[in-house]
């Protein structure tokens, strides 16, 4: 009967009843403002009603006359192109004597010819854009209202409802993980953590439609859109375009000429709007962009979510817990044979949900990753993986727990090859990978250390039990035992904001009873944040030298001037320092990644901080790098600039706030010849928070 959604079903006349007495629908009021306040959806910039499942919303229907107990009418809700009751995409809600439907209906109030109807969608209902009709019994048939786009409405997941699988137990968490439209994404290295502001913009105009379009464009089954586990798993594949024409194209090179550099994006809204408008994947993304856009998608649909950053994140190409660094017979790094990599940081998401497919223990935060790394079931997707299962090594549970476990728990193994190609391990570091895991805190604009949710303290009995269990599930480790070495190396360095030398200090510790003559090789290489070498700096200490290490130890300090390394740095680069040392009986090695910093942007606000009043922001930047920065542009306005040494740029931009409360202004500066080493380099950035008053 819903083929083509006919406005009228044939019926026979009711004997003895004249047309003048027939009950007709005169109008429908979706009560948008009242419902939005109760459903926490008032910030969505749309003219249509937005409500959450498992919670009553009110619809006012005006009839041609007062309703009597003998009148029979119903509301019909349809979603998708081929709605059917057995697929839960056609729902009929009855009032009065009829009951038993999956969605509950109630006559809340009758005022003359206006009836207020309360509707409660099932807490398992399909999420998306519904069409609604009012149908009145007429003889042997039903007469329904004409199709009216104004009565369409969005139904979302409901973290406020205990019956919904995305229920979050406290207001603070719901405020942050569902309603907060801005956030921080952490980057850098464990020793030099930096941050990048990100505007999720889940309430911006067109974003809700864009999220639904993503599911439609990738042909996600309508029936699966009410299942949060399937929704999140599918979303991790839809955000990347690797195999399903998804939202974002990844690019980890230096060439972004065919699109937007990942460092230029300041938020998700423009990406999603562009994808929705063009229907084509958007260029370009790296891990934090994938995570930011997926976070927007999840929060927009009502799923509590957050972006997390794993520092020293292992990417093992052999599917085990062994991340191998290979050295040549002379002690120099063998970049060609080293296939595994350790990313300075890697960003993914966590989504909060009840895992109805698993025992209750595994509900809560689930790791989900949209960055295309490995295929799972034929698609580039990852998760949802229960974080508690990762912590406890219970890797048999879906989905992809083993992959995430390796990212935070792999052992770093230093291997030396002989002239025949045979490789022998000489050092195993069990503490390097998964050094630190951060997310934005609930209480403010700082980090929350959630490392303990992914792994037990290194070396503790619980950690040993976890690693042993993981091995039972197929994650092999290196069991080499090495006697404690009496020679060790420690590398330290401090990043600087101004053009002064970068000092790299190498300390040799000698615990033996005699002086040691150590053959030392140090190599400093520009490195992408993914651990891939972008080129070796020749001419700087990349040669062998001998160091006499006394019993007490010895310190050697090396210096790099900015002009010696800046020109070698590409997009998203940092410096990797690799030191190897050999004596007659001992081999040692150490690796350290140094993230560089740039001067900050300065922001000054003027004007009255009030909704719909003009305000101005003055953005300024002083180049203290000692060489020209070319092709510079402010992401907030995209103006192309060239900044001379010690030169200053400034731009005054007007804007008009539309919402009260604490808002965040994000400004980004991009330059062609300066890398995105961390959140303040290559792209100097600044966050500025504004407390706005209502009218």
Q: Is 570 left (phi over 0), alpha (psi -120 to 50) or beta?
A: beta
Catalytic residue among 346, 397, 456, 521: 346
Q: 215 near 310, Cβ under 8 Å?
A: no
- Which of 381, 228, 372 has its CA nearest to residue 303? 228
| Joined tokens for residue 494 | 């401090």
Between CA 33 and CA 553 the distance in angstroms is 72
- Catalytic residue status for 211: no
- Alpha-carbon distances of 561 from 59, 500, 522, 540, 567, rounded to whole Å: 69, 6, 17, 11, 11
Going from the C-alpha of 534 to that of each of 265, 280, 571, the distances in angstroms are 23, 30, 9
670 is an active site residue: no
Token pair recorded at residue 402: 């083993």
Of 164, 165, 244, 287, the active-site residue reads 287
User: CB 83: neighbour CB atoms within 10 A?
Assistant: 21
Using CB atoms within 10 Å of the CB of residue 492, give its burial: 0 to 12 exposed, 13 to 18 middle, 19+ buried. middle
Contact between 544 and 499 under an 8 Å Cβ cutoff? The reply is no
How do beta strands 104-111 and 114-120 pair? antiparallel
> Which residue's structure tokens are 């009145």?
136
Is residue 157 within 8 A of residue 301, CB to CB? The reply is: yes
CA 230 to chain centre: 17
> From the candidates 369, 411, 670, 676, which is the catalytic residue?
369
Q: What is the DSSP letter of 100?
A: -
Structure tokens at 620: 């300024």
324 Cα distance to chain centroid: 28
Q: How many CB atoms lie within 10 A of CB 443?
A: 9
DSSP 232-286: HHHHHHHTB-TTT--SEEE--SS--TTS--GGG--BSHHHHHHHHHH-S-EEEE-
Q: Is 369 a catalytic residue?
A: yes
**Interacting residues of 420 by C-beta distance below 8 A, sequence separation 6+:** none
* Nearest residue to 431 via CA among 579, 311, 588: 311
Are 364 and 385 in contact by the 8 Å Cβ rule? The answer is no
Nearest CA-CA partner of 168 in 50, 40, 255, 291 = 40
Element (H, E) at 185: strand 182-188
3-class DSSP state of 93: strand
List the Cα angle 149/154/158 in 5-degree steps: 165
Q: Which residues are catalytic?
A: 287, 346, 369
């Amino acid at each position: 009967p819903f083929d083509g959604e006919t406005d009228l079903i044939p019926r026979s006349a009711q004997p003895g009843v004249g047309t003048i007495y027939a009950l007709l629908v005169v109008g429908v009021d979706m009560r948008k403002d009242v419902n939005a306040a109760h459903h926490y959806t008032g910030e969505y910039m749309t003219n249509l009603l937005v409500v959450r499942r498992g919670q009553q919303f009110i619809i006012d229907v005006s009839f041609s006359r007062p309703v009597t107990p003998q009148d029979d009418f119903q509301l019909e809700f349809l979603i998708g192109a081929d709605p059917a009751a057995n697929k839960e995409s056609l729902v009929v809600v009855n009032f009065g004597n009829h009951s038993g439907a999956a969605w509950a209906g109630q006559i809340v109030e009758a005022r003359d010819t206006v009836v207020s109807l309360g509707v409660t969608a099932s807490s398992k209902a399909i999420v998306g854009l519904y069409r609604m009709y009012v149908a009145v019994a007429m003889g042997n048939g039903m007469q329904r209202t004409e199709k009216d786009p104004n009565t369409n409405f969005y139904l979302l997941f409901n973290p406020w409802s205990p019956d919904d699988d995305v229920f979050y137990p406290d207001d603070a968490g719901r405020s942050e993980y569902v309603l907060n439209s801005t956030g921080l994404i952490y980057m850098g290295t464990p020793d030099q953590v930096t941050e990048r502001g990100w505007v999720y913009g889940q309430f911006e105009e067109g974003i809700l439609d864009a999220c639904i379009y993503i599911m439609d464009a990738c042909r996600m089954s309508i029936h699966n859109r009410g299942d949060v586990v399937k929704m999140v798993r599918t979303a991790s594949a839809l955000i990347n375009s690797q195999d399903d024409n998804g939202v974002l194209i990844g690019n980890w090179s230096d060439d972004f000429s065919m699109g937007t550099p990942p460092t230029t994006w300041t938020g998700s809204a423009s990406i999603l709007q562009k994808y929705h408008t063009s229907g084509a994947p958007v260029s370009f993304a790296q891990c934090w962009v994938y995570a930011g856009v997926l976070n927007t998608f999840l929060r927009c649909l009502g799923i509590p979510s957050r972006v997390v950053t794993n520092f020293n994140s292992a990417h093992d190409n052999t599917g085990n817990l062994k991340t191998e660094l290979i050295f040549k017979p002379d002690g120099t790094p063998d970049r060609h044979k080293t296939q595994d990599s350790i990313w300075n940081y890697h960003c993914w998401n966590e989504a909060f949900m009840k895992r109805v497919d698993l025992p209750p223990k595994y509900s809560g935060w689930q790791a989900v990753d949209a960055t295309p790394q490995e295929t799972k079931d034929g698609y580039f997707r990852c998760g949802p993986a229960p974080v508690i299962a990762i912590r406890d090594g219970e890797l048999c549970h879906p989905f992809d727990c083993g992959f995430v476990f390796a990212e935070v728990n792999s052992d770093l193994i230093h291997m030396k090859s002989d002239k025949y190609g045979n490789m022998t391990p000489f050092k195993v570091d069990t503490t390097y990978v998964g050094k630190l895991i951060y997310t934005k805190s609930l209480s403010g604009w700082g980090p929350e250390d959630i490392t303990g949710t992914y792994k037990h303290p290194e070396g503790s009995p619980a950690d040993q039990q976890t690693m042993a269990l993981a091995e039972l599930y197929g994650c092999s480790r290196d069991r080499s035992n090495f006697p404690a070495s009496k020679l060790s190396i420690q590398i330290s360095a401090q990043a600087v904001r101004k053009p002064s030398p970068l000092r790299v200090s190498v300390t040799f510790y000698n615990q033996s009873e005699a002086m040691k003559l150590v053959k030392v090789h140090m190599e400093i290489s520009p490195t992408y944040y993914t651990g891939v070498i972008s080129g070796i700096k020749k001419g700087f200490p990349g040669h062998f030298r001998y160091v006499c290490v006394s019993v007490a130890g010895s310190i050697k300090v090396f210096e790099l001037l900015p002009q010696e390394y800046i020109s070698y740095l590409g997009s998203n680069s940092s410096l990797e320092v690799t030191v190897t040392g050999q004596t007659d009986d001992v081999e040692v090695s150490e690796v350290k990644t140094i993230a560089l910093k740039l001067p900050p942007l300065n922001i000054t606000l003027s004007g009255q901080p009030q909704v719909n009043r003009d305000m101005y922001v003055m953005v300024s930047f002083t180049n203290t790098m000692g060489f020209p920065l070319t092709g510079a542009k402010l992401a907030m306005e995209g103006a192309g600039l060239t900044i001379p040494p010690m030169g200053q740029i400034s731009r005054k931009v007007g804007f008009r706030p539309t919402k009260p409360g604490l808002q965040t202004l994000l400004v980004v500066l991009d330059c062609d010849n300066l890398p995105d080493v961390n959140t303040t380099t290559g792209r100097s950035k600044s966050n500025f928070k504004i407390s706005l008053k209502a009218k």
